[in-house]
Structure 1
Amino acid sequence: METILTIENLNKRFGAVHAVKNVSLEIKKGNVYGILGPNGSGKSTTLGIVLNVVNKTSGEYRWFGGTMETHEALKKVGAIIERPNFYPYMTAQENLELVCKIKGASYNKVAEKLEVVGLLDRKDSKFRTFSLGMKQRLAIASALLNDPEILILDEPTNGLDPQGIRQIRDIIKTIASQGTTILLASHLLDEVEKVCSHVLVLRKGEILYSGKVDGMISNEGFFELQSENINELMSALQNHPAIEKMELEEGKLVVYLKSALEAKDINKYLVEKGIYLNHLVKRKHSLEEQFLQLTNKN
């Protein structure tokens, strides 16, 4: 699979503040990557560096395997890293045509991209009449005019109402389904969980996790178990090699895992010890629980 962007040991200092600390990431074509972290975690700084608007302190990044200079590579990148800035008294179509002129893109792209973001019926409306969500959707259309290989979005749903958030998410999914690679920075767990295939979790500039979203969620699973004799159940599981710890919660035994264990295997293990369950549910931590566990560690 083609590599779009490689980041290696990236560092950025602002005086005494070490904003980005040895961040490494490889972005492969066709995936949706999320950079997740609280405000001040280094997300926007990292994006600014790879987009050549913030100077790195040390480390390296390469676009498209280093086969072209950064300024040439960025012609194949679409990005929104600030609030959309269009002419208020020009229509949506006029604003996008102006962007086409600047980017050297065909005017034919305007209707096509307005359709993608659901604004074709508002092409003749002036930008000043648009809601915040519509302005953001127009900005995405603008970033797509040159048919970029990767679309970079910094906090794309910031300040939007629930309907606006859902519309942006749906648009991101549509763009991704058409083969465009996406990199988005967000502090919203829900956003990353719903639209991203891969996630990089940052806190104070440091990587806490990097990999597939599914991999992060499934790192630790847990069982809810119940039988006629809870104490006997606890005793039987005390030395099981896959179990990290157990807790009693509302009459159920919550069993936390340190390695993979399927429901059928724990059931068989207990039956062989003469214990029969009347309740057996396997659960996974949500991305939110995983994120809080990661970011609350010292």
Structure 2
Amino acid sequence: MIVEVKGLFKKYKKQLVLKGIDIQIEEPQIIALVGPNGSGKTTLMNSLMNLLPFHEGSIRILGKKHNDTSLFYEVSYLQDNRILYGDLTGYDHLRFICRIQKLPRARIKEVAAYVGMESYLKKRVRSYSLGMKQHLLLAMAIINQPKLILLDEPVNGLDPTSAIHMRSILLDLHEKGTTIIISSHNLDEIDKLTNNIYFMKDGVLLKESLEDYSTSRYKLTVSDFEKAKEVLAGQDVNISFDDATILFEETEVSLQSVIHSLNINGMEINKIENYKIGAEKRYMELFESELAR
């Protein structure tokens, strides 16, 4: 078992922030934590990494209690860049980690090349852009080749090139057997990384795989939208309408049947697009009340 959390409760003063969290991760995968600010994502990650005490429950990481100090060599937590020291270079940060992790210094050049930060490795961090700082944080997180990495907003503020580069590294690490738990507000980026999402809402964890929504879905644009609504409204098909577009989910009734119904009623199909329910769509469904404020 990579991660096992049972009945985790955490409160600040009288406010309950985590309400009976349960997690089981049995094999390497990428999992996203998604939710509005204040929903408990960072509190959960800090609890997993033994940076915060909790009031009830248990956490085991890689088969060990979460406060077992030997996990220090097998797990990494990428936090925000406030942990960096502006007067030190990127090399200084990585050398310090090598020392306390008992790693050969050669790992510094290896990981710098892998992340793509050789050109500024020996510059002071105060001169780094936000993207450069994120690369350094990632290098610090993976230099010990951990089995589990937690990342808190790793693509925050990155330009498109840096975000793509970060994503390719994370996917490569996963391919090599690393489990990654990522907290992010960038839902488009989440869709490119994983289908496995834990939505945090009011201190409760809602686990979903967007593969559960993998039924074939289509957007149809037709010559006469209002007439199409009339023709399809009385049929037993899973259809909705949005901005002059027909949204069709293929279940018992096939796409061809819908096209046939429209054609025999004198309508032409102008465009057919395949689409999926991504993290943003599901987020909007789950947090509709928050979005309406």
Alpha carbons of structure 1 residues 179 and 260: separation in structure 2 relative to 1, 3 Å: farther
Aligned residues: 288
Matches within 5 A, 1:91-106: 91-106=89-104
Match of 2:268 among 272, 278, 281: 278
1:258 to 1:295, Cα distance in 2 relative to 1, 3 A: farther
CA contact (8 A) 1:225 1:277 kept: no
Partner of 1:292: 284
* Unmatched segments (≥5 aa) in structure 2: none
**Is the 8 Å Cα contact of residues 95 and 105 (structure 2) preserved in structure 1?**
yes
Instruction: Tell me the C-alpha RMSD between the 2 structures.
Output: 3.1
If the length of structure 1 is used for normalisation, what is the TM-score?
0.82
Q: 1:58 aligns with which of 39, 56, 59?
A: 56
Structure 1 residues 237 and 185: CA distance shift in structure 2, 3 A: same
Which of the residues 173, 183, 186 maps onto 1:185? 183
Give the SS at the match of 2:268.
Answer: strand
Distance 1:22 1:197 in 2: 23
How far apart in 2 are the matches of 1:181 and 1:96? 22
Aligned residue identity for 1:293: E
> Using a 3 Å threshold, how does the CA distance of structure 1 residues 262 and 71 change in structure 2: closer, same or farther?
farther
1:166 maps to 2:164? yes
Q: Does the 8 A contact of 1:220 with 1:285 survive in 2?
A: no
Aligned-pair CA distance for 1:261: 5.0
Q: Normalising by structure 2, what TM-score?
A: 0.83
Q: Is the counterpart of residue 226 in structure 1 residue 216 in structure 2?
A: no
Q: Cα gap change, 1:223/1:5 in structure 2, threshold over 3 Å: closer, same or farther?
A: same
Q: 1:123 aligns with which of 109, 121, 124?
A: 121
Q: Distance in 2 between matches of 1:232 and 1:221?
A: 17
One-letter amino acid matched to 1:288 = E
**Could you tell me the percent identity over the aligned residues?**
23
CA change 1:247–1:228 in 2 (3 A) is: closer
Is 1:144 paired with 2:142? yes
Judge conservation of contact 2:222–2:228 (CA < 8 Å) in 1.
Answer: no
> Could you say if the C-alpha distance between residues 297 and 265 of structure 1 is closer, same or farther in structure 2, counting changes exceeding 3 Å?
farther
Looking at structure 2, the residues matched to 109 and 248 of structure 1 have their Cα atoms a distance apart, in angstroms, of 53
Give the partner amino acid of 2:76: G
Q: How does 1:8-47 map to 2 (within 5 A)?
A: 8-47=6-45
Instruction: Answer whether contact 1:31 1:197 (CA < 8 A) is retained.
Output: no
2:258 is equivalent to residue 266 of structure 1:
yes
Q: Indicate how the Cα distance of structure 1 residues 14 and 68 shifts in structure 2: closer, same or farther if over 3 A, else same.
A: closer
Q: Residue deviations 1:211-230, cap 9 Å, x none? A: 334435x4794543636695
- Structure 1 pair 297–262 and aligned structure 2 pair: CA distance change class (3 A): farther
Using the TM superposition, give the Cα deviation of residue 115 of structure 1 relative to its aligned residue in structure 2, in angstroms: 1.2
**Matching residue of 1:134:** 132
Does the Cα contact within 8 Å between 2:86 and 2:126 map onto a contact in 1? yes
1-structure distance, mates of 2:100, 2:59: 26
Deviations 1:13-69 (A, max 9, x none): 112322122222222433111101111111100001110011122222221244886
**Which residue of structure 1 aligns with residue 109 of structure 2?**
111
Is 1:215 paired with 2:212? yes
